[in-house]
Amino acid sequence: MNVLLVEDDRDLAASVADYLALEAIECDHAYNGLAGLNLACDNHYDVILLDLMLPRMSGLSVCETLRERGIDTPILMLTARDTLADKIAGFRAGTDDYLVKPFAMEELTIRARALSRRRSGQIQKLTVADLSMDLKLKQANRAGQPLNLTPTGWTLLETLLRASPDVVSRASLCEALWGDAPPDTDSLKVHLYKLRQQVDKPFAHTLIQTVSGHGFALRGPDE
C-alpha cells in the first residue's frame, strides 16, 4: 500500500510517516498543496492523506483540481475544522472521508486501508484513451467529437469507464441500468449495440470489448 501525505506540520507528518512505516505502508510526503498536487498527478497512490490548510494551495483546491483532472485516488482529508459546513465543503470538493485533528494513528490507518480497497466516486472526469466523459458538464466525446448519448447509453458508458480496464459482468450492467427489475427481453444487447455505434464505429480502434464468458470491458489500445 502506497499513500501520499500532504501536510505542512513537519512534526505531525514525521509521526504519521513513522507510524505508517510500522504498518508496512509506504508514504511519500509533500509540505505544500502545489507540491502535493504535482506528486498526485505524476504518481500512483492507493490513498491521499490531505491536510485542509496548506501553503501555496489549499487542500480544497488540491482536491477539486484532482477530481477535475479525472484522478480517482481516494482522499482522506485531515483538518482541525470540525463544523458541519467545513465537512460539507470538503465533500463537495471531492474528498471521500474526513478525519478531525487530533486523531489516533490507528484510526487513520484503518480509514486509509478501507479507502484503498476502492476508487473514488468523486471524480468529475473519466478518461480512457481518446474517450472522455465530463460528469459535471454531462458531456462525452471521443477524439474531440461529441457523443450524443441517451440516458441509458450514458449510464452504460459511465459504468464501463469507472471500471476500466476491468471487466463488468452482464449482471452488473443490468443492475446499473434497471436495478433489481431488469426487462425480460435482451435489452442490454440492444443498448450496447447502440453505444458501440457511437463510441467505436466511426473510429479505427475499438474500445468496448466483449470478454467471452465474463462480460464487457472498456480498454485503450495498450491495455
Average pLDDT for 70-76: 88
Please calculate the CA angle 122-123-125 and round it to the nearest 5 degrees. Answer: 155
Average pLDDT for 17-21: 95
User: Do the domains spanning 2-116 and 125-218 agree at the CATH topology level?
Assistant: no
What residue spans define the domains of the chain?
Answer: 2-116, 125-218
Q: 148-183 b/e with 16+ CB inside 10 Å = b? A: ebeebbbbbbbbbbbbbeebbeeeebbebbeeeebe
Average pLDDT for 68-74: 84
* 108-155 residue pLDDT tens: 999 999 998 876 656 678 888 999 988 878 899 999 999 999 999 999
Fold of 2-116: Rossmann fold (3.40.50)
Measured in degrees and rounded to the nearest 5, phi and psi for residue 146 equal -65, 145
pTM of the model: 0.61
Q: What is the pLDDT of residue 137?
A: 82
Average pLDDT for 59-72: 88
- The amino acid at residue 58 is S
Distance (Å, whole) CA 56 – CA 203: 43
Please check whether the domain covering 125-218 is classified as CATH 1.20.1530.20. Answer: no
Q: Lowest-confidence range among 19-23, 59-63, 132-136?
A: 132-136
